[in-house]
């Protein structure tokens, strides 16, 4: 076995450490606009916080009346605005190494001078790397909450959404409803036609569900062929109507199955949130309603505790 000898610090190390410490101190205390902004941006991976910092730092050097940012990250629109716009605008498409990281526009009542435009470009050049990191962080977070096959929210995303919805329902007293939808006899499709066809039907189902609901509603896949729809400000009767619309949308799916097109049906269970109800209890009641729909012939909608 070889003997390990400790590494002895060289005589130049203390001097190098002192120089490094001084360099860090100088950078930290630098009045330079770009250095100050870079330092602030490096403290967070929140894109919203970064855009607020960018707006503050640029406004100290180049006055503007409004800033608008828009980007689509992981199938979701990200929009940030501050101030009130003016008739003059300069817009920048932010790219780094060939990748797009959103569009940033500045508005004001007076026209921007050439010197100001040059200054804006310099400051955005210093901001693009931290913004890239923030955009990628959002994409990673969204990937962890997204079903890979259908692109909608997964079971983890549903659990988090139910927790938030329960808290909001209790706080504001507004009705929230949950629909669970399960494709009928889906195992037979996989067994008789293969998983590729089955996956295609699942993707089409997610599309149909998203088309059948409002922008404020959200769809999740939390089981093999089981989907959930969360409906804010929606009563039990309204949720039943949405469930029926979803059921008919699923019924309209047609997939090439050879001689005859494949069709599929779905069963739905509905539960409206009760006061002080835990998310898992809410989910269990919707699941019980779905079980009743399955037991009573499938391709129908049942509401928890209803007589129907």
Instruction: Give residue-wise pLDDT tens across range 44-100.
Output: 999 999 999 999 999 999 999 999 999 999 878 999 999 988 899 999 999 999 999
Instruction: Give residue-wise pLDDT tens across range 115-151.
Output: 999 999 999 999 999 999 999 999 999 889 999 999 9
- Could you give the C-alpha distances from 102 to 40, 119, 214, 307, in angstroms and in order? 20, 19, 26, 52
Active site residues: 225
- First-to-last C-alpha distance (Å) of the chain: 80
CA proximity to 247, closest of 269, 262, 232: 269
Instruction: Give residue-wise pLDDT tens across range 222-259.
Output: 989 999 999 999 999 999 999 999 999 999 999 987 77
pLDDT at 213 over 60: yes
Structural domains for the chain: 27-144 (3.30.450.40), 155-303 (3.30.70.270)
Two tokens, residue 213: 């609901």
CA proximity to 226, closest of 279, 118, 128, 154: 154
Q: Which pLDDT score, from 0 to 100, does residue 113 have?
A: 93
**Do residues 41 and 50 lie in contact, with contact meaning Cβ atoms separated by under 8 Å?**
yes
CA proximity to 64, closest of 116, 114, 103: 116
């Amino acid at each position: 076995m070889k003997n390990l000898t400790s590494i002895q610090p060289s005589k130049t190390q203390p001097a190098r450490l002192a120089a490094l410490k001084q360099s860090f101190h100088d950078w930290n205390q630098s009045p330079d606009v770009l250095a100050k902004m870079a330092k602030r941006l490096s403290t967070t991976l929140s894109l919203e916080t970064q855009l607020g910092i960018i707006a503050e730092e640029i406004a100290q050097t180049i006055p503007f009346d409004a800033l608008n940012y828009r980007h689509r990250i992981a199938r979701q629109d990200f929009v940030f605005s501050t101030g009130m716009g003016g008739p003059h605008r300069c817009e920048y498409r932010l790219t780094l190494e060939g990748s797009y990281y959103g569009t940033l526009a500045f508005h004001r009542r007076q026209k921007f001078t050439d010197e100001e435009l040059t200054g804006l470009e310099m400051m955005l050049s210093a901001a693009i790397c931290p913004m890239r990191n923030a955009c990628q962080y959002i994409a990673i977070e969204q990937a962890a909450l997204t079903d890979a096959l259908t692109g909608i929210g997964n079971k983890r995303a549903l659990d988090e959404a139910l927790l938030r919805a329960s808290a909001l329902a209790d706080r504001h007293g507004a009705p929230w409803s949950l629909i669970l939808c399960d494709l009928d006899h889906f195992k037979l499709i996989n067994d008789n036609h293969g998983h590729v066809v089955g996956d295609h039907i699942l993707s089409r189902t997610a599309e149909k569900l998203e088309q059948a609901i409002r922008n404020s509603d959200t769809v999740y896949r939390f089981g093999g062929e089981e989907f959930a729809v969360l409906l804010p400000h929606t009563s039990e009767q309204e949720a039943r109507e949405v469930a029926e619309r979803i059921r008919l949308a699923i019924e309209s799916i047609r997939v090439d199955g050879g001689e005859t097109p494949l069709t599929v049906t779905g069963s739905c269970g509905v539960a409206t949130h009760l006061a002080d109800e835990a998310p898992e209890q809410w989910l269990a009641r919707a699941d019980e309603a779905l079980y009743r729909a399955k037991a009573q012939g499938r391709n129908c909608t049942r509401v928890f505790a209803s007589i129907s």
